Chain A
Amino acid sequence: MVQRPSFQHDGGAGAVTHKRIILAGVLFVAAFTVIAGRMIQLMGFEGEQDVRRNFAAPAPSAMAARADIVDRHGRQLATDLSVFTLYADAANVWDAGETVRALLGIFPELDGPALEARIASGRGRILIKRDLSPRQQAEVHALGMPGLSFDTEMRRVYPNGSAAAHVLGYVGTDHHGLAGIELSQDAVLGASAEPLALAIDLRVQHVLDDELAKSMAEFQAIGAAGIVMDVHSGEVVAMSSLPVFDPNNIGASPPEARFNSATLGVFEMGSTFKAFNTAMALDSGLIKIDDRFDARHPIPFGRFQIRDFHPQARWLTVSEIFEHSSNIGSARMAMVLGVDHQRQFLSSLGLLEPTRLEIPENGRPLAPANWSELSMMTISYGHGMSVSPLHTAAAISAMVNGGFYVDPTILRREPGSVLPRRRVISDETSAEMRRLMRLVVEQGTGSKADVEGYPVGGKTGTAEKPSNGGYARKALISSFVGVFPADAPEYLVFVMLDEPQPTPETFGYATAGWTAAPTTSHIVARIGPLLGIAPRRAPRDDDEHADAQGTGVAAMGEER
């Protein structure tokens, strides 16, 4: 028997200590077994991949790039740029206050307390800011804050600002189109890598925008619209609606600026409709160009009277009725052919249905549900039914291009491709219309539309705006539709001013001949050379110079 040490106490404390130290060791083994078991449970079995994925950088957004939109010559109208969206993965942010303070250093515009509260709330992916530039992204990276992450997103950029904004439309924050071509061609743009070529010519578009804006300012109009159209192919070479917006910053524009008055807006076009009335009459074969109609007195109809603005108070030929813009004569011509004939003819010109331009904003014409005799008479001179400027442009094109209605298009048509067109009037009638429209500019209401070198044919249209069931005398829609060169038109220019005000220079007139017609003239003078139309040699002294200019312009080239 080994002798117990001398510290024995209470029946052998040494032995007890010995046992209990071993017991402590056993307890430690037990504790470490629990720990090892827990380690194995956490690490040996549970799926590691899931958790790691949560902490890995988010994959680049699946947001597809959109194809560019280019003009007819390949100039960029809309393109994609990569931008970054900053998120906070709330669960991974370790100090919401510190994180937000650091971010405020870069983005002082953020709402700090609100953001901090959202992050501190704990869960979820919190969007902090969209559209970070690469430089801003680098700055956020440099903060070294955990829990911040980026998505790469594509931002739609319109390098020409508001040019052709209503045609292009815009995209939403999800990068999908919300208006214009961006909306109508959303699937195409999203799927294709090829740029989408529009019929728009950016240079012509700039001229149209510029001249419309000038005239709008000059006449203090509240709005304006303009279209330049290839009368043969139906391509819209330029289209404007003022006021305009910047598709790069859609939120900054008022809703009315986003309204496309060139296609979605419908207006009573006034005398412009007399072109259709005249063509209808001539093409019917029942009325000849020299037939005379009684325009001596206003036509009473119930409590209405149909009057002329510039009363000639005599019998007028068809030609004179058009030239002097006689409402009475127009109404009498329509009366010969009747309601059905008129409705059918206007329908053939596409004036009773929305146009099929490749944008969603196509206005439905307002035509009388009950097409009465009176309707027929007022419609003959452009009142009582409303169509969009685009309707007018497409229908007038048919009047002058040899008699074919071509569905207008905003997309570029390959030269020589089969056109979606239908004959609406005969070639002869179309020739007659060209002559008549030239007459309006040479000696009628549209004289201010003429351009040296580019003979313009056209028709003025002035309509009082409907107001409270009647018409507002002072609120006019003044428009001019011109085609050039007048004898063999290539392009149509439509200009419309909404509520232009008279100026001293216009001697108190705000009618189309004084407002829209000169604007058209300015536009034609600038776009003629751009579109490769050789100016006609005017009989001038320095013949040689004019010749050289003409050759030079022709050399600039245009596919037609």
Chain B
Amino acid sequence: MIALNRTDRSAIAQWWWTADRWLLAMVVSLIALGVLLSMAASPAVAERIGLEPFHFVYRQLTFVAPALLLILCISLLKLRDIKRLAVAIYIGGLALMILALFFGPEIKGAHRWLNLGPLTIQPSEFVKPAFTVLAAWMMTEGQRHPENALPSHVASALLFAMFAGVLVLQPDFGQTLLVCIVWGALYFMAGMPYRVLFGLVGLAVAGAVLAYLFVPHVTSRIDRFVDPDQGDTYQIERAIDAFEAGGLLGAGPAEGLVKLRLPDAHTDFILAVVGEEYGLLGCLLIAMLFLALVIRALWKSLSCVDPFARLASAGLAVLLGLQAVINMMVNLSLMPAKGMTLPFVSYGGSSMLALAVAVGFLIGLTRFRPAPRHLRRRPWAG
């Protein structure tokens, strides 16, 4: 990479000089941390379900190269091609999700997965970034052509409704909630008036209450969160045990004991393993990495000249940040259990590839693009 010259006009060289290397560095760090932590968290799980100890570690490693390649390729795309790819992924992903409803194996009571040969993929993971990009596109189209504002609102609402609808059918309330918030955040950042915003928030709260009242699965989760003594709070309790066992500096790599009793130690509850083995310092490091990633991504979105690129990249930042926040809050018993992975860090091949798509979009959207001087803005200049 050192060999790349500013005057080099090749695609790679241009990419290197225009892509945000800070974002890239943070994502690569998180992926590396994920591999490191999968060594701590997954052997216990693998042995428990009869696989060789480093099964998940190897699998995670085999996805690292494809993920990095995917980030590079997507971030090379022009804005127009990013939109096209997003459309393709959205349509393809949604189709696969619908397929999974009928043909996917039932895992923990939900049809979210599809077996594609050796790969088991969760199509909704890929639809999330594509949806974010498309929804941002629709909203900025509406702003650019106020006379067509209504159709663009309808289009974004349709995109949202279809995605959320299939998510509810799976059912996957955690993702539905995430998509709801991302969509709401996009509208919010696009400049939605506050009165509409509050109206939507009210609607969301009503929806949540309805879900609590009429969907048993949600009822039990909320009940368990509010009153831990009733029902099965095994993972949550073990996670708290793990954090407390870790203390300030942690028990040390591979010294964790509570992790042996955490069924989802390698996926949703990997933060608890970090807590036990690397302590408060390890957890704070991960939290700060995510915060830095989100802030850096939002910062970069502010400097985007193109309104679509700005909104879409901000939306992707919100998507990644929210997923991390929700996962951490669940781990820390600040929220009821959701079934959400910690981006890049949790084990999961299809999740890692989907995140690579998101990061590819993000870096591609925020690449420095020449623009007339009057359109270049300092991010901090309101």
The 6 closest A-B pairs by CB, nearest first: A48-B247, A16-B191, A43-B280, A42-B243, A32-B291, A13-B191
Contact yes or no, B244 A28, CB < 8 A: no
Contact yes or no, A3 B307, CB < 8 A: no
Contact yes or no, A35 B295, CB < 8 A: no
Contact yes or no, A39 B332, CB < 8 A: yes
Within 8 A of A (CB), among B177-205: 185, 188-191
Q: Is A302 an interface residue (CB 8 A)?
A: no
Q: Is A55 an interface residue (CB 8 A)?
A: yes
Q: Is A255 an interface residue (CB 8 A)?
A: no
Contact yes or no, B251 A35, CB < 8 A: no
Q: Which residues of A contact B358 (CB under 8 A)?
A: none
Interface size on A, residues (CB 8 A): 47
| CB closest chain-B residue, reference A144 | B47
**Assuming A39-B280, A43-B243, is B291 touching A29 (CB within 8 A)?**
yes
Contact yes or no, A17 B307, CB < 8 A: yes
Interface string of B80-94 (1 = CB under 8 A from A): 000000000000000
Bin the interface of chain B by size.
Answer: 35 or more
Q: Which residues of B contact A146 (CB under 8 A)?
A: 48, 260-261
Interface string of A28-69 (1 = CB under 8 A from B): 110110111011101110111001101110000000000000
Contact yes or no, B244 A46, CB < 8 A: yes
Within 8 A of A (CB), among B211-250: 234, 237, 240-241, 243-248
| CB closest chain-B residue, reference A98 | B48
Contact yes or no, B247 A35, CB < 8 A: no
From B138-146, B345-353, B360-368, the one touching the partner chain is B138-146
Q: Is A22 an interface residue (CB 8 A)?
A: yes
| CB closest chain-B residue, reference A15 | B382
Q: Output the residue of A3, A5, A147 with the most chain B CB within 10 A.
A: A5
**Assuming A42-B240, A46-B244, is B261 touching A21 (CB within 8 A)?**
no
Within 8 A of B (CB), among A421-451: none
Q: Which residues of A contact B334 (CB under 8 A)?
A: 34-35, 38
Q: Is A18 an interface residue (CB 8 A)?
A: yes
How far apart are A95's CB and chain B's nearest CB, in angstroms? 8
How far apart are A74's CB and chain B's nearest CB, in angstroms? 46
Q: Which residues of A contact B328 (CB under 8 A)?
A: 35
| CB closest chain-A residue, reference B318 | A24
Contact yes or no, A51 B244, CB < 8 A: yes
Q: Is A92 an interface residue (CB 8 A)?
A: yes
Q: Is A25 an interface residue (CB 8 A)?
A: yes
Q: Is B336 an interface residue (CB 8 A)?
A: no
| 7 A–B pairs (Cβ distance < 8 Å), ordered by A | A7-B143, A20-B189, A29-B291, A31-B325, A43-B247, A44-B247, A48-B245
Q: Is B359 an interface residue (CB 8 A)?
A: no
Contact yes or no, B241 A39, CB < 8 A: no
Interface string of B305-328 (1 = CB under 8 A from A): 101001100100110010001001
Q: Is B78 an interface residue (CB 8 A)?
A: no
Q: Is A543 an interface residue (CB 8 A)?
A: no
Q: Is B166 an interface residue (CB 8 A)?
A: no
Q: Is A541 an interface residue (CB 8 A)?
A: no
From B23-31, B61-69, B116-124, B282-290, the one touching the partner chain is B282-290
Q: Is B108 an interface residue (CB 8 A)?
A: no
